[in-house]
Structure 1
Amino acid sequence: MSDFSSPSVAVIGSLNIDYLTRVECLPSPGETLASDCLELFHGGKGANQAISIARQGCQARLYGALGADDAGVNYRKSLKEEGVDVTGVLTVSHKTGAAFITIDGAGENTIITAAGANENLTAVHLLEAAPEIEACQALLGQFEIPTPALVEAIGIANRAEVTVVLNASPFLPTFPWRETHVDYAIVNELEAFELLEFSPFEESESSLQQRLHEMRIAHLIITRGSKDTFVFRRGGDTLRVPTLPVLPVDTVGAGDAFAGCFTARITSGESLDAAVRAANCAGALTTLGKGAQDPIPDRDRVNQHVEHLVSYD
């Protein structure tokens, strides 16, 4: 739980109800499978990340939109109980957003989202919240909300010299990278390839540096599931950070737990290596439970596991 002396993070993002089913193998195109499991959870990348931040001891201010339906009312109450500031979350006439998730026997997943109320978050809404965003130490965003709203929020943060962390997921090829400055971009391997248009592990260092310069990304963080995370620094060396070996049950919220934990730790003054180590542990531990939010670990639990990670020094 956060306290009022801790750093604050503005989270610009989505809020969804997750409808989750489980099968042994994910279906192929045209294939119909039966599942004997249907579960409902609170989700949405913005809300997941805000909860991760709050559980790491920072103040999380969430900006998004919920429906006026029962799902939205209950969700707002749940976020308040987590210590997330939801005064920036709109209530609109559209239904609360939804995500339809299928998980296979290995814990891997496919996700389809229906934006619903999330589409009502506008640049005007974020502009009205500018004084609050400017007072934060960091801004965390992702691509499940309308692009104009996200770009406006990043612009506010850039002008106020607020640290910007962007989880570029689900990948959006039309995002105007050259109009913004991003201190830390977080992607998985597939998203990294879509973002750079080449694999950073196969292309020359000069090509990567040129691309980071063109896209105005200071640090590119690439998560790779159970494998080590890499941080490519514009104008600097590459950082390789080990992750925590686990047997995953559900990978749905792992990326959001990582993004939230990383943002909280880097905002709290931890080194880049320490922040990524903590985030790797948060992501891995989240895969041990069901749903996107319930398994997200708190600061103490993450700290208990960080010390067990190997070192490449």
Structure 2
Amino acid sequence: MAISPSAPQRCTPEFLARCRAFADAHALPVIIHVQETWLHAGGHGAGLLRQTHGDASRRTRLSAAGTSLIHAVWLSDAEIECLAQPGASVQHNPWSNLMLGSGVQPVRALLDAGVNVSLGSDGCASTVTGNMLNVLGSAAALSKIRGNDHSRWLSASEALRAGTGGGASALGLGGQLGAIAPGYRADLVAYRTDTISFTPLTDPVRQLVYAERGASIDSVFVASDAVLRNGRLTRVDEPALLREISAAYGALSAEFDLADESVAPLRAEMEKVYARAQTLHADWKTCAAKLAR
């Protein structure tokens, strides 16, 4: 279970406070989308993370320990420092941010500040894929466009750490998930090494992170139970499920078309908002999340 208000610009201060209080009372993680785009940062003056609809106590609660800030692409140095103090996590969604044109998260600056970084795909509805190997490779490769100091690029091992232990810590499951060790849950993924990606086997971590996306997965275990064997799901009839999804979409396609038509008139106004956002200049220092022209 997790508490997941959408984003601060879509929530009242009272609602956010109630979410935080409920999460604290039941020891649940909080997941919220924050400052994914320049509009979220520059368009709200000091940025949503620092502004957060109110006083200092509310700002602190949004970045409290046990909170995962999804995306967190456009951040200032002050905000990164703010996140490090209470122990909040940020979730890096490199493939989603590339596909949606959001920008590049300042991962190295976050790690240097001591912020826990996890990885995510942003969900199939946003990015067409939930493949975490795709996310691992994207995270490591994308970091290389920021600056020429290779020592500050994200290494394959750092990307893997964010995708395993970083994710566990973000959900309050550090010491239970994210490692193969005594006392940890037996949640494991087994990869075949007799494949092109791992032949010859010279640097398993680097080869895994940059491998073709999922082609080498053999088995997946959840709490020691095999849910995937020889590359096939053991508890779900995947072909039947895909047929069911296609049939359901076919039955609803006319309604989807009507929905698309209903929002078409809004596009011109949305373009105006987007054009205004490009002219905004914040008076606070933010890490550049996009390359200059």
Higher share of residues assigned strand: 1
**TM-score bracket relative to the smaller structure:** 0.3 to 0.5
State the structure with more CA Rg: 2
Higher relative contact order (CA 8 A, sep 6+): 1
